[in-house]
Amino acid sequence: MNNKHLAELDLNKLIVLITGLLLAGLPHWQRLPIWIPVLHTLLLFLRVYIPFRYAGFWRQASSLIGFSRLVIMLLGILGVYASYGSLAGRDVGIALLVMLAGLKVFESKTKRDFYISAYLGYFLVITNFFYSQTIPTAAYMLLVIIIMTASLVRFNDVDESMSIVEQFRYSSTLILQSLPILLVLFILFPRVNGPLWGLPEDAYTGITGIDDQMTPGTISKLVQSNEVAFRVSFDNDIPERSQLYWRGPVLWKTDGRKWTMGKSADRQRPEPVRFSGNVIKYDVTIEPTNKHWLFGLEMVSAPPEKTHFTQDRQLKTDEAIRSRKAFTLLSNTSYLLGADSFDDIQRALVLPDLYHERTRKFAAELLQQYQEPELRIKAVLDWFNKENFIYTLRPPLIAGDMVDEFLFNSRQGFCEHYAAAFTVLMRAMGIPARVVTGYQGGEINPIGNYLIVRQHDAHAWSEVWLNDKGWVRIDPTSAVSPERVNQGIENSIPDLIIDMPLDLEHNAYVARLWQQFRNTVDMVNYQWAQWVLGYGPERQLLLLHRLGFGFIDWKKMTIAMIIFIGVIFLSIAIFIFTRPPKTVDLAKQYYDIFCKKMAKIGIQKMIHEGPIDFSRRICHSRKDLASDVNSITDLYVLIRYQSSFNKLNDFKNLIKTFSPK
């Protein structure tokens, strides 16, 4: 058999394999250039179609097939390079894998080729987790694994004794038997901090989140996304929404349009802060961003392990957040933030030359009217509130000086417009000011009693320096749209994209059901993130402690893991070797039916009598039944004692039609 071509064996054995390969690669199609999935599908189709319609040509054209394979491979590699501009990286590697998997099936002629194609299918399954690690992805890939395993079962069913349903049942049983071992390995395999291997930089493209610079449209673009930024679980009550400011990058420098962090102060001594009021303890589970920002409730009192404060009290991780991470933080919402140096205060007064002429003139007018900094701040906020300023996701495009045009012409903008314009006005009036970006608010999930902060909660505000109060948070958006701070982004912008299907948000009952469904799904995803995707060293020790293991190190975990796996293997072996094959049981059941039919006509099988002896006795007394009885006995002996299970259906049909009189 090993030397036969697959075309000569049975093309049906390829169908399940090809189905598994198509399903494994299907999620990648949306991410690949269209010609790659088309080529992949075409190669799989040709591998079945040509041998089926032109079997003789397929057997005789091995050299032509080999040459075609070489040409397709070279052109495919050139096509991938033309599409991506490189032959390295995550996306390129997956594109090559999808293409070469189809090519390998196309050229398959031996048993070895079939196995390699199947293993490529398993690799394709794994690559899907580079993009998504959600529960639906895991469930879908489990289905693909069952199909791929069924293709191996079907290929090795030499006697074709199993139906397609039985092959899939057998594949599912194999996967089910592996689950206890998988669970033991998951729980007890010693965890390490960080991944065992790295991924190329392009593995983190397409990730949304707050950046270290701000231009018009930066945050309003984020607000149109419903993706989760992070989730927060509080030890006690969730603070009021107006206190939920999640501090991120602090921006000092502007060129008239773009705000950036300016000079690096990553490892300098953080600005001094004096806390008052109650300490708030909470756990933040942040989604991967490929950045270092860890968003804490203003103001975090101490950085957790493997994080640090920058000079302006940004909380940053030591390594980029490239997977879901959990941190325990402590914050005080009542605080007094000081300055680290006089130079920093002066840096917060700098404005670019030749910009914001009308804004500077307006600031000079306010400066003459109000002597105290607090009165100047109040005057600007009142002006925002009383004038016809509009808080909108879709402000008109601004040409020329961004701040002047916004303040005196369009007067339509999002939080970044108001934060930038307010900060410029403050600096023009001699009040040190800087822009702070991050998130504001969040959505409470009542089912899990935690807070969901989404990308649409992204926000920008200002901090001003007052001699007797230090750095003080001023949110100019609240002067224009107080609903944004007090009620959330959904209630402040009517044209915000809300995740509600079929435009049903106007139906209160349906909207409430949809929200409950979303909360339930998110709670399940949160637990999945906490205990599966986020199952690191800390979670492992916590779970083992809850299971009653007490203190356990990696050596004890390894020993326990080996013992548990050994017990599982032994239990499975005992179950398999002590339980008769199902096909043998069925054969015995059918034979018992035959014996009952003979007993009804007065020929009773003796306890000591074997099937052959019983057959001889029947034939001696009833020669008219000899042919049928001999056929039944011969098939029973083949199935029962020679494992010819492929004869079971014939045996069953023969018993059913046998009717002695």
DSSP reduced 3-state for 443: strand
Q: How far apart are CA 377 and CA 433, in angstroms?
A: 11
Dihedral sign, CA of 316, 219, 217, 465? negative
Q: How far apart are CA 171 and CA 154, in angstroms?
A: 10
The contacts of residue 656 (CB under 8 Å, 6+ apart) are: none
Among candidate residues 226, 437, 153, the one with its CA nearest the CA of residue 314: 437
**339-348 long-range contacts, CB within 8 A, separation 24+:** 339/271, 339/465, 339/470, 339/471, 340/268, 340/269, 340/270, 340/271, 340/272, 340/311, 344/271, 344/311, 344/312, 345/432, 345/465, 346/432, 347/252, 347/262, 348/252, 348/427, 348/432, 348/433, 348/434, 348/465
Q: Cis omega before residue 214 (within 30°)? A: no
Residue among 415, 417, 456, 522 flagged as catalytic: 415
> 371 exposed, middle or buried (CB, 10 Å; 0-12, 13-18, 19+)?
exposed
Q: Would residue 415 show up in a list of annotated catalytic residues for this protein?
A: yes
Got the DSSP string for 451-494?
Answer: EEEEGGGEEEEEEEEETTTEEEEE-THHHH-HHHHHT-GGGT-T
Residue among 356, 417, 456, 459 flagged as catalytic: 459
Angle at 501 between CA 444 and CA 30, to 5 degrees: 100
Query: Which letter does DSSP use for residue 408 in this model?
Result: I
Among candidate residues 189, 177, 184, the one with its CA nearest the CA of residue 565: 184
Q: Would residue 608 show up in a list of annotated catalytic residues for this protein?
A: no
Dihedral sign, CA of 516, 521, 524, 527? negative
**Residue 425: count of CB within 10 angstroms of its CB:** 27
Residue with tokens 């949110």: 475
CB 267 within 8 A of CB 215: no
The contacts of residue 305 (CB under 8 Å, 6+ apart) are: none
Q: Would residue 475 show up in a list of annotated catalytic residues for this protein?
A: yes
Residue among 401, 404, 475, 522 flagged as catalytic: 475
Q: Among all residues, which ones are annotated catalytic?
A: 415, 459, 475
